Chain A
């Protein structure tokens, strides 16, 4: 399964609402996770099951979707949210497939 994320990058001002997209080449049901990676750091799990926030993840992060189309929304971007975001499907494996990432930059 090929995971495609859009856009590849976007520039956003703090406080703005951000919507990131992830599309699967075929249905992955709700078996979709989102990860955040800051420069020089390991990825961090944000969302699993398409919409369940991981422990200690702020509620400004939300996930939605099912089947082939998924969205990660950050309701009000904070300075610490500037990072690369990856989606990953775990419905049909191996392999576990990741999207190519969306980089969220400061405007």
Chain B
């Protein structure tokens, strides 16, 4: 099982960024995928989850209305569209395979820095 995130970078407050998570080594459409973030020197914060077919999505209150998660099973990929970014969104963003709420495999993360 491998999950590889990409798309991080430096963005100004109010800006947008789209993260990608490409999966391999398992039957992608069998699992949900979560995004979990970690601010520098801080703990883990769950951000969003999408179910196996994209028909169900959930968000943390801190990102609701600003972030959108989607997936393309033909490309074994999940995306996180992040709009109206704030300084407090600065973090390492991980995607993780989700199995009935358990996050059993994680990528190495992609860093998002929101700064003017």
A interface residue numbers (CB < 8 A to B): 31, 33, 35, 37, 41-45, 48, 54, 86, 88, 90-91, 93-101
Nearest 10 Cβ contacts at the A-B interface: A90-B101, A42-B106, A94-B58, A96-B46, A98-B44, A48-B102, A101-B43, A100-B43, A95-B60, A45-B104
A-contact bits for B100-115, CB 8 A (1 contact / 0 none)? 1111111111000000
When C-beta atoms are compared, the residue in chain B nearest to A86 turns out to be: B44
B interface residue numbers (CB < 8 A to A): 34, 36, 43-46, 49, 58-61, 94, 96, 100-109
7 residue pairs of the A-B complex, CB under 8 angstroms, read: A43-B36, A43-B96, A43-B103, A94-B60, A95-B46, A95-B58, A96-B103
B94 and A33 contacting across the interface, CB-CB below 8 Å = no
When C-beta atoms are compared, the residue in chain B nearest to A92 turns out to be: B101
B102 and A33 contacting across the interface, CB-CB below 8 Å = yes
Q: Which of A41, A43, A93, A98 contacts B101 (CB 8 A)?
A: A93
B89 shortest CB reach to chain A, Å? 16
Residues on B with beta carbons closer than 8 Å to the beta carbon of A48: 102, 104
With known contacts A94-B59, A94-B60, A45–B103 Cβ distance under 8 A: yes
Q: Main SS of the interface on chain A?
A: loop
B58 and A90 contacting across the interface, CB-CB below 8 Å = no
Residues on A with beta carbons closer than 8 Å to the beta carbon of B109: 42
